[in-house]
Structure 1
Amino acid sequence: MLTQLPPELILSVFSFLDLPCVRTLYLVCNSWKNFIDENESTIYHTLAAYHEYIRSTTVDFSQLPSMYSPKSLAGVTSWKSFCAQRVHISKSWAGKASSHYVSYASSGSTVHRIKVDEQAGIIMTSSRDGGLLVSDLTDDRVLWSLQKTYVRQCAHLEYGKGFLIFDSPEGNKEVWRLASEFPSTGPSSNALPDQVLASEEAFQEHAATYPKGHFKPWAVLKMPRVTHAFRFVYPTLLVGAWDHVFLWDIPSSELIQTITPIQEPEDPNSAFAVVLANAPSFVARLGSLDNLNYVDVDEKHAFICGVTALRVFSRATGKCILDVPSTRREYGSRRFSVIYESEMSTDGAVLVNHYTDGKELDLSRSSFQPRSIDEFIAVHVSSCGRHLVAMLASSRVVIIKNFQDGPSSLDNRMSSYNLGLCSSRSKYLAIHNDRVAVANNNGIFIFSLSAAVEARIIPSASPSGTLVISRAPFFGYHLYLSNLTCLQLSDTGLYLNWDPFHLKICQENEAEPRRLEALFRASTSDQTIRYLRMPTGDVLIMLGEGM
């Protein structure tokens, strides 16, 4: 081929190969080795685009620092080493390459919420006692802070593109911006005097670290109503109230859209009404979302998790396009369960891999599905904007493929994953570039959303699920996870708040890891099913993993 085809055509063929194939060609044939060496930059530049590490081959090597953090580019000096680093990071998340634990003591012992910007090299945390800290991701020192008297206890944090948002005691939303990205014209005209004063005090206390990790006041957004949950995906902040959703453009600090009602369908012919019309009577009686647990937003949709349902609203029309009641017994025609059988982790890796056991469900056999007490407590949308991952309170995760298709054929596009005992409480759901992390009282699990969307059940295989889920065995017991209130993902790290007392127990007691594994094995092997009769006459089903 090297002598019969022009080099341009051979390079075009290389663009369709994966990295292991190129590596194999390099090792088995001297002629191919010489060709790859001579065209190394072009080949690996093309492969970086093929694997979607970059948008296209128009991206220059010098642009990588603006796209990836220093941690992601450590040791990267060429397109070849860049591809090798991406492969290593991917393998680390799969438990097939080295990874390690790191603690950040500067964040304090009462962390409530966490946000991470690896590009800027900072960790932002709010506290159960009040206050806000910004710490250096590299050397674990405090860079900037706001006092406990200024930031309320258990403040929720949102962050993106240099904008930091938290809720004030009055229910308003404060917006701050990284000093390094702040316009040179001075404080935003939307900032209030209290913000400016707090900013000046913070600068005086941390002048030696300026500008890294420093923030300046941008705006205070006054909410039209009492609000319950908010989520920021640049440039839009979505804030949920009882029956309203408010969308703010953060760079301009303007309220750009209001969606209402969200509790009851405005149009009786809406997708929401269609779902209720075909649901059991007890589902139809519920009607409203009840209290809001979580919200998410992208360019086209608003996503709302309530006690009784997960709903998706179109931003273009304000209409509900999808409603999934949280009273279903089954979520889709496929149910997967994590099983204990696992791939051994690579030396130096802190993650292990677990297979999934899959079961096809015939939902047409029964028109009545007994009511199960559960609720959606978190939801995230994929980076492509087509798929959803949602977390139920009972350690179940629901995947919805092509959610924009509405209620039609929903069961065929929806699947559920049981991550240990369903009676064990879910705690947090995080997503970054379609990598999903789930924290519950059974442990911490990581998987690919795109792989979960395409997961299939193979009857002849054992185990029968095609999705492999990684787990951090160090976090494997509900007492150790009882204080976890936040979980965040980045390109190279998973960040959570952790009790150092339990960390010390694991480090000093050699038998502790084996005990935790035994407990997890028991939770994934539980086959019990428990039925209780509710006062309403409905059946409460506590599902074991094997159900």
Structure 2
Amino acid sequence: MERWMDAKMTYSDLPTECLLRVLNFLALRDIATLLQTSKLWNSIINTNEHTIYLQLAEELNTTSALLGSPLDALSGWLSQEASKVRSWKGYCRLYITTERRWNGKERPYSTRDVLQSAQQTRVGWIKIDTEKELLLMTGDEESDEDNCVAVHCLRDPTCEVPSFTRIEISGGFVIFGNVRAGSDSFEVWRWAEDQESISQIIRQPTDEQSQKYERAVLFAGIRNSPCRGELLPMGVLQQPDELRAYRLVYPTLCVGNHAGDRLWLWDIRTRQLIQTIRIEPSPYQEFSMVYVDVNELNVFVATHTVSVYSRTTGECVFQLKEVELRRLAGYVTPPIPNHDSDNVFQEYVLPGYHDPRINVTPPYLLDIVVAVRASPEGDNCVAVTHWGYIILISGLKYEVHEPPGDHSSDRINLGVTPASGIESTSLLANIRISLIRAEGTLQHLDYDGRRILVFGSHGLGIVNLDRGGWPANNFDVSFSDWSRSELSPFPAQTMYLVPPFSGDTDIYRGCTCLQMTADTCWVAWSPEGHDSIMVGRGFPQFNFTKTVGMIDFARPASD
């Protein structure tokens, strides 16, 4: 025993099993260092490469799904770089470099106009089908052009697949609708490949849809159906009233009416109305129904404020009232530009909260929520306001059970109306509110649970969330005369404006749509950054040069 203790042992004396165990605790950058500094470690790592990098990939995986292959792990990635990955080692390298570019540590590839000459119509709305690697684009509603839909292949965006208002896509179904006053119906289409190979669903196309389909097939020269990018008409959904906002999250289509007092939930597979929810209308008719989102538990509604309705009961389970939003805004410190940062993006520091009684910056008298998006997990949502506030509402999952006794007359005033069968005290205890303020005004939002993407008067902004939390000032905020809640720290310390879609000046007003995937973001916008003015017919006219811009975070910037 003494001989063993006196002997000078090093890691080279340890068995391979022990060394592999050590590698389990190392990050990718540490493994890269060992590869460059030690012949023994280099040999161990290269010999057991598959096992080591698979374990690293499982640690990087943000979903609960098991990783079967690098191809499975890269499901939903659109970059050409992802198609080059053949091993877990390549996956780990691509994942790390992509995250670095999302955080501005390296410059990603970007283009102001990804479609170039293939774009035949002035873009109004875009949607990405990550599974099919297709981009659907509709014409601008304000133009005089026909409401056509173009399908572009993302393997080569300049290649247009058959040419066929606002558009929604989920689960292989495509919804075309028009939110102009007087519209009360949707067209339902589906990828022909899915109709053929996944499930046969009854089709009831209208004559108009059939004519559109026949023209598109003739124009595209399709001889053998189904083909890639081919859409089949399924039928029309007739709404009970004029529509104002809608969102498709397969298999549910959520529709808000123009009056702002009804939500309709449809099953897109059967095209049947499955639920109607009455909602509290906004006192401001112009903002009666701005945006909606839906998941399995709740419906999220943006009017002049943000509300959450339970799908189980149809009752309002959370509402941030106008006066409460104004009060919360008084706690938020505006972002501070960090000119000393070496980040490739324009960095802004988020200072946290301050006591509104000290050094008060009066909030705007009227602010409205312009968009709301739920997280994929369904336990939180993000809302953004016109004047640049980004609100994170967490703790939205709850258990449904009957509370003891009759509490039908109880009302909780944290902007919350307790629903029947839900214990309101546990719901209140779970809800947490955090908010920050962006530079300038905001118009568009996308959110995937890990990062927030916004577009406003200063262009494209990214907030990367850190769920580990940061030290910050906390305040107990009174939401009514007798209910209080904690204003929680926002899980981020910085936000970034991302070139070439952003700048210091307040001129970026040409965006109509924003979408994010695991490795890219897409924006329908005016490359000039602002509306150019033409003089014609004796008076000024606004000219929108709309294109589709893209940032590929998995791909390095071009030299």
TM-score by structure 2 length? 0.73
Q: State whether structure 2 residue 152 is matched by structure 1 residue 135.
A: yes
**Following the alignment from structure 1 to structure 2, what is the Cα–Cα distance between the partners of residues 420 and 504?**
20
Say which of 296, 301, 304 aligns to 2:298.
301
Tell me the equivalent position of 2:517.
Answer: 490
Q: Is the Cα–Cα contact under 8 Å of residues 458 and 507 in structure 2 kept in the other structure?
A: no
The residue correspondences of 1:96-135 to structure 2 (distance < 5 A) are 96-102=105-111, 103=113, 104-105=115-116, 106-108=118-120, 110-128=122-140, 129=143, 130-135=147-152
Specify the alignment match of 1:315 in structure 2.
Answer: 311
Q: Which moved more, 1:438-447 or 1:65-74?
A: 65-74
Count the aligned residue pairs.
462
2:194 is aligned to: 181
Please give the alpha-carbon distance, in whole angstroms, between the structure 2 residues aligned to 1:53 and 1:77. Answer: 20
**Match of 1:335, SS?**
coil
Shift in alpha-carbon separation, 1:249–1:58, aligned structure 2, 3 A: same
Change (3 A) 1:378 1:504: closer
Distance 1:465 1:250, change over 3 A: closer
What is the aligned counterpart of 1:94 among 98, 103, 106? Answer: 103
1:213 to 220, 225, 229: 229
1:263-321 C-alpha deviation (Å, 9 max, x unpaired):
49xxxxxxxxxxxxxxxxxxxxx6999601110111111001112x2111111121111
Q: Partner amino acid for 1:390?
A: A
Say whether residues 1:467 and 2:493 are aligned partners: yes
CA gap 1:403/1:333 in 2 versus in 1, 3 angstroms: farther
The residue type equivalent to 1:467 in the other structure is: Q
Secondary structure of the 1:218 match is strand
1:145 to 163, 170, 182: 163
C-alpha deviation, 1:452, in angstroms: 7.1
**Alpha-carbon spacing, 1:193–1:363, altered in 2? closer, same or farther (3 Å):** farther
Aligned equivalents of 1:66, 1:482: Cα separation in 2 = 33
Please state if 1:292 is matched with 2:252: no
Partner of 1:533: none
Deviation (angstroms), 1:447: 1.4
Change (3 A) 1:345 1:305: same
- 1:453, distance to aligned residue in structure 2 (A): 8.6
Matched, 1:441 2:457: yes
Shift of 1:19: 2.1
Quote the Cα distance in structure 1 between the aligned partners of 2:232 and 2:129: 16
Cα distance in structure 1, aligned partners of 2:367 and 2:391:
13
8 A contact 2:514–2:522 mirrored in 1? yes
Once residues 163 and 35 of structure 2 are traced to their aligned partners in structure 1, the CA distance between those partners, rounded to angstroms, is: 52
Cα 1:410–1:478 change in 2 (3 A) is farther
Distance 2:201 2:230 in 1: 14
Is structure 2 residue 217 aligned with structure 1 residue 203? yes
User: Match for residue 81 of structure 1?
Assistant: 90
The answer (yes or no) to whether the contact 2:138–2:166 under 8 Å persists in 1 is yes
Question: For structure 1, which segment, 247-256 or 493-502, has the greater mean C-alpha deviation from structure 2 after superposition?
Answer: 493-502
CA distance in 1, matches of 2:205, 2:357: 55
8 Å CA contact 1:338–1:356 kept in 2: the answer is yes
| Partner SS state of residue 184, structure 2 | coil
1:392 correspondence with 2:385? yes
Tell me: CA distance 1:355–1:465, structure 2 relative to 1, closer, same or farther (3 Å). Answer: farther
1:145, distance to aligned residue in structure 2 (A) = 1.9
Instruction: State the match for 2:435 in structure 1.
Output: 416
The residue type equivalent to 2:242 in the other structure is V
Q: Which amino acid aligns with 2:375?
A: S
Cα deviation code 1:485-530 (max 9, x no counterpart)? 111112222211232455999xxxxxxxxxxxxxxxxxxxxxxxxx
Structure 2: distance between partners of 1:486 and 1:478:
20
Q: 2:327 aligns with which of 313, 326, 330?
A: 330
Closer, same or farther: CA 427–300 of 1 in aligned 2, 3 Å = same
1:358 lines up with 2:352 in the alignment? yes
Q: 1:166 aligns with which of 176, 186, 189?
A: 176
Offset, 1:262: 3.9
Q: Please, which runs of 5 or more residues in structure 2 have no aligned partner?
A: 1-9, 399-411, 415-424, 475-489, 533-559
Question: Bigger CA drift: 387-396 or 430-439?
Answer: 430-439
Residue 157 of structure 1 corresponds to which residue in structure 2? Answer: 167
The offset of 1:134, in angstroms, is 1.4
Q: Give the partner amino acid of 1:319.
A: E
Over the matched positions of the two proteins, sequence identity in percent amounts to: 24
- Deviation per CA, 1:236-276, whole angstroms, max 9, x where unpaired? 11111222211112223222222224449xxxxxxxxxxxx
Which ranges of structure 1 fall in alignment gaps of 5 or more residues? 147-154, 265-285, 506-547
Query: Take 2:450 and 2:263, find their aligned partners in 1: how far apart are those partners?
Result: 25
Is 1:457 aligned with 2:472? Answer: yes
Check whether the contact 2:382–2:447 (CA below 8 A) recurs between aligned residues.
no
Which residue identity lines up with residue 310 of structure 1 in the other structure? V
Asked whether the equivalents of residues 127 and 169 of structure 2 are also in contact (C-alpha less than 8 Å), the reply is yes
Residue 405 (structure 2) aligns with: none
| Structure 2 Cα separation of the partners of residues 287 and 439 of structure 1 | 24
Contact 1:399 1:452 in 2 (8 A): no
Match of 1:237 among 253, 256, 280: 253
Of 448, 456, 462, the residue aligned with 1:432 is 448
* TM superposition shift of 1:107: 3.1
The offset of 1:136, in angstroms, is: 2.5
- Aligned-pair distance for 1:178? 1.5
Q: Structure 2 CA distance, aligned partners of 1:483 and 1:243?
A: 30
Cα deviation code 1:173-213 (max 9, x no counterpart) = 11111222222687842322321221111111012597222
In terms of fraction of residues, the more helix-rich structure is: 1
Contact 2:467 2:491 in 1 (8 A): no
Instruction: For residue 100 of structure 1, report the CA deviation from its aligned partner.
Output: 2.5
* 1:230 Cα deviation from its structure 2 partner: 0.3
C-alpha deviation, 1:437, in angstroms: 0.8
Q: In 1, Cα distance between the equivalents of 2:104 and 2:377?
A: 25
Does residue 340 of structure 1 match 2:337?
Answer: yes
- 1:289–1:256 Cα change, 3 Å: farther
Moved more, 371-380 or 181-190: 181-190
In 1, the alpha carbon distance for the partners of 2:491 and 2:267 equals 42
Deviates more, 1:223-232 or 1:293-302: 223-232
The answer to whether the 8 A contact 2:76-2:130 is kept is no
- What's the secondary structure of 1:481's corresponding residue? coil
Deviations 1:199-230 (A, max 9, x none): 11111101259722221112311112222110
TM-score of the two chains, using structure 1 as the length reference:
0.74
State how far apart, in whole Å, the 1-side matches of 2:382 and 2:245 are: 18
Offset at residue 81 of structure 1 (A): 0.6
Q: Secondary structure at the match of 1:372?
A: coil
Give the Cα separation in 1 of the matches to 2:514 and 2:31.
Answer: 37
Q: CA deviation at 1:88?
A: 1.3
CA distance in 1, matches of 2:337, 2:17: 49
Name the CA distance, whole Å, in 1 between partners of 2:285 and 2:319.
11
> SS of 1:313's equivalent?
strand
Larger RCO: 1 or 2 (CA < 8 Å, sep 6+): 2
